[in-house]
Amino acid sequence: MMVFILSFALVTAQENEVTKEYTLWIGGHYTDFTDFSKKVGEYDLGDEDALPELKGSYRFRSGEYLLNIDGHYYDKNNISGRYSQRWADRIKGDIYYRSLVRQEEQDLLGNLSARELIGENPGGKILTHELLDEGADYNTHRREFGGNAEVLISRKNNVRMMAAHRSILKTGDEQKIANSHCFSCHVTSKSAEVDKRTDEFEVGLQADVNDFTFAYKFGYRYFQSRANNASAYYDAAVHPVNGGSGAEFGSRQVFNDTTVVFGTYPETRKFSHKVRAKGKLGKGSFSGSLGYSTTENLNTDVASTAWSGAALYAIPLNSKTRAIARVAGVRYKTDDPFIDLPTFRDGRPGPTYSFDFTRYSSLDRNDFKGSLEIISRLNRTTTVSGLLGYNMIDRHDYPVPDGDDQTTGKLFAQARVKYRKGLKFSARAKYRMEMISDPFTSGRGLFEASGRDAGVGPIPEPFSFIFYWQREALRYQDITIYPTDVHDFDFGLTYRPDNKMSVNFGLKAKFDKNGDLDSLDVEHSMYQPNLALTLTPDPKWSMSAGYTFGHYKSRGPVAVALFDG
> Which residues inside 158-197 make contact with another protein, applying CB under 8 A?
158, 168, 176-184, 186-187, 196
Closer residue to another protein (CB): 24 or 108 = 108
Indicate whether 72 belongs to the interface with another protein (CB under 8 A). Answer: yes
| CA gap 401, 485 in Å, rounded | 24
Is residue 236 within 8 Å of residue 246, measured between CB atoms? yes
Q: Contact with another protein (CB under 8 A): which of 103, 106, 190, 322?
A: 322
Rounded Cα distance, 177 and 158, in Å: 55
Q: How far is the CB of 278 from another protein (least distance, A)?
A: 5
Residue number, 7 or 37, with CB nearest to another protein: 37
CA atoms of 257 and 233, how far apart (whole Å): 7
Distance CA 232, CA 188 (A): 8
Tell the smallest beta-carbon distance from residue 311 to another protein (Å). Answer: 10
Question: What is the closest distance, in whole angstroms, from the C-beta atom of residue 98 to another protein in the complex?
Answer: 6
542 binds another protein (CB under 8 A): yes
Which residues have C-beta within 8 Å of that of residue 516, sequence separation ≥ 6?
484
Verify binding: residue 38, another protein, rule CB under 8 A: no
CA separation for the pair 535, 163 (Å, rounded):
40
Least distance to another protein, CB of residue 49, Å: 19
Instruction: Give the C-alpha distances (Å, rounded to integers) separating 412 from 144, 291, 313, 395.
Output: 39, 26, 19, 20
Among the listed residues 46, 95, 129, 151, the single contact to another protein using CB under 8 A: 129
Only one of the segments 2-10, 23-31, 131-139, 377-385 lies at the binding site for another protein (rule: CB under 8 A); that segment is 377-385
| Residue 159 C-beta: closest distance to another protein, Å | 12
CA 128, CA 148: separation in Å to the nearest integer? 52
Q: Give the residue, chosen from 18, 50, 317, 501, that forms a contact with another protein under the rule CB under 8 A.
A: 317
- Residue list 432-461, contact with another protein (CB under 8 A): 433, 435, 437-438, 440, 442-443, 445-447, 449
Partners of 229 in the beta sheet?
Answer: none
Sort strands 284-297 and 302-318 into parallel, antiparallel or unpaired. Answer: antiparallel
Amino acid at 272: S
7 vs 258, which CB is nearer to another protein?
Answer: 258
Span from 3-11, 23-31, 46-54, 430-438 in contact with another protein (CB under 8 A): 430-438
Q: Residues touching another protein: how many (CB under 8 A)?
A: 210
Whole-number Å distance between alpha carbons of 250 and 256: 7
Specify the residue, 537 or 546, whose C-beta has the smaller distance to another protein.
546
Based on the shown chain and the rule CB under 8 A, indicate whether residue 263 belongs to the binding site for another protein: yes
464 binds another protein (CB under 8 A): no
What minimum distance in Å lies between the beta carbon of 52 and another protein?
18
Q: Cβ 384 to another protein, closest distance in Å?
A: 5
CA within 13 Å, CB half, 481: 11
Rounded Cα–Cα distance for residues 249 and 391 (Å): 48
Across 13-36, b (16+ Cβ under 10 Å) vs e yields: beeeeeeeeeeeeeeeeeeeeeee
Are the C-beta atoms of 523 and 485 separated by less than 8 Å?
no
Q: Choose one: 28-36, 46-54, 132-140, 246-254; the region binding another protein (CB under 8 A).
A: 246-254
Please state the closest distance from residue 314 (CB atom) to another protein, in A: 5
Which residue, 171 or 198, has its beta carbon nearer to another protein?
198
The set of residues, in sequence order, having a beta carbon less than 8 Å from that of 233 and lying 6+ positions away, is 180, 258, 259
Min CB(489)–another protein separation in Å: 13
CA–CA distance, 264 with 194 (Å, rounded to integer) = 11
Q: Which helix (H) or strand (E) holds 473?
A: helix 468-475
Reduce the DSSP state of residue 283 to 3 states and report it.
Answer: coil
Smaller CB distance to another protein: residue 165 or 221?
A: 221
Question: For another protein, which is the closer residue by CB, 1 or 265?
Answer: 265
Kindly indicate which of the ranges 3-11, 22-30, 133-141, 205-213 contains the residues binding another protein, using the contact rule CB under 8 A: 205-213
Binding mask 82-111 for another protein (x = CB under 8 A): --x-x-xx--------x-x-x--x-x-x-x
Residue 248 is a binding residue for another protein (CB under 8 A): no
Stretch that binds another protein, among 3-11, 28-36, 133-141, 407-415 (CB under 8 A): 407-415
Residues 79, 53: contact at Cβ < 8 Å?
Answer: no
- Rounded Cα–Cα distance for residues 205 and 325 (Å): 27
Please select the residue that binds another protein; options are 171, 383, 406, 525, rule is CB under 8 A: 383
3-class state of residue 392 by DSSP: strand
Sole window of 3-11, 26-34, 132-140, 241-249 interacting with another protein (rule: CB under 8 A) = 241-249
The DSSP 8-state label assigned to residue 336 in this structure reads: -
Site for another protein in 498-537 (CB under 8 A): 502, 504, 506, 508, 515-518, 528, 530, 532, 534
